[in-house]
Structure 1
Amino acid sequence: MSEPIDPYYAVIFTSTQKENIEGYPEMANKMETLAKQQTGYLGMDSARNNVGITVSYWKNLEAIKNWKQQSDHVIAQHKGRKDWYSWYNVKICKVEREYEFKI
């Protein structure tokens, strides 16, 4: 993530996938590309093993609301519930401070 302005918001999307996720990788790539074009988008971190965790970072709650309602993202959400996820959880958090360690 590149130098966000504090405070900012994090959307934490945690999920487990079904066995057959045909079309999912393509849609995930499309959503990442599209999210980067949204006003207020700050970055994303993602990891997947048995459980997937994607954290997207946003300037404000309005940007998050607009992303949730973006037409292509609405289609992806529907396909996710119908075809790809057996479970998911979304948390929206205000990040008031951050720091890191790096060698």
Structure 2
Amino acid sequence: MPFLAATPPPPYTAVVFTSVRAAGGPRDDDEAYAATAARMEELARQQPGYLGIESARSGDEGITVSYWRDAEAARAWKQVTEHLVAQGRGRREWYATYRVRVATVERDYGP
């Protein structure tokens, strides 16, 4: 899968999830964290209105941007049961802090 999402012409919705992993947690939990992240990507791809995802991590800091047809599709993804469970685990176990930002993409260009 390419790193850059192949998005359609705007407008569309971007959900930006920026996080800092909790320090001092059991690092053997990294496998569970990675498996959950992979499952969330797989599950997101199955949702109506999903357009793509881009994700990067450096040490404990990470950013994931998921792209959706519109804000309604992004809101629906937030409410998927398995995603809600993962969100709860992230708040309790994996993240020292995080931010979610939702934006409408108005321009999209590159080489």
Given the two structures, how large is their TM-score scaled by the length of structure 1? 0.93
Equivalent residues in 2 for 1:1-103, closer than 5 Å: 1-19=5-23, 20=25, 22=29, 23-50=32-59, 51-101=61-111
Which letter does structure 1 place at the counterpart of 2:35?
Answer: E
Percent sequence identity over matched residues? 48
Structure-2 separation of matches of 1:65 and 1:47: 23
Which letter does structure 1 place at the counterpart of 2:68?
Answer: W
CA-to-aligned-CA distance 1:51-86 (integer Å, 9 cap, x gap): 101000000111011100000000000000001000
SS in 2 for 1:30: helix
Given the two structures, how large is their TM-score scaled by the length of structure 2? 0.86
- State the 4+ residue runs in structure 1 displaced beyond 2 angstroms: none
5+ long unaligned stretches in structure 1: none
Counterpart contact for 2:50–2:73, Cα < 8 Å: yes
5+ long unaligned stretches in structure 2: none
Counterpart contact for 1:5–1:59, Cα < 8 Å: no
SS in 2 for 1:38: coil
Counterpart contact for 2:7–2:52, Cα < 8 Å: no
